[in-house]
Amino acid sequence: MNLGVLSELEAHIDQLSVAEQLALLEYVAQRLRKNLGAQSDLENKLVLMAADPDIQRELREINEEFASMEADGLDPA
């Protein structure tokens, strides 16, 4: 976020009453908790998926299928 936008937000916040500022702060905190919770939930799902034997088997099969292409003379990225 650029400084101009931050300055504009600060000016608007300064115009709010203390009660309105607290309400805004609570709203922002709730949104952050929700977003962090969603991120954490996604990470947990990815961990469970990575531990899934069927997923691991599928990844091994994909690696075996493309193993011959590793010797194509190109440097790995």
8 lies in a domain? Answer: no
Domain membership flag for residue 5: no
Sign of the CA dihedral 25, 30, 36, 38?
negative
Per-residue pLDDT, averaged over 48-76, amounts to 84
Q: What is the pLDDT of residues 14-31, one digit of tens each?
A: 999 999 999 999 999 999
Please give the Cα distance from 36 to 45 (Å, whole number): 14
Range of the domain at 50: 21-66
Q: Is 44 a residue whose pLDDT tops 60?
A: yes
pLDDT value at residue 12: 95
Q: Please state, in angstroms and rounded to a whole number, the distance separating the CA atoms of residues 10 and 44.
A: 36
Number of structural domains (the chain) is 1
Place of tokens 């590793």: 70
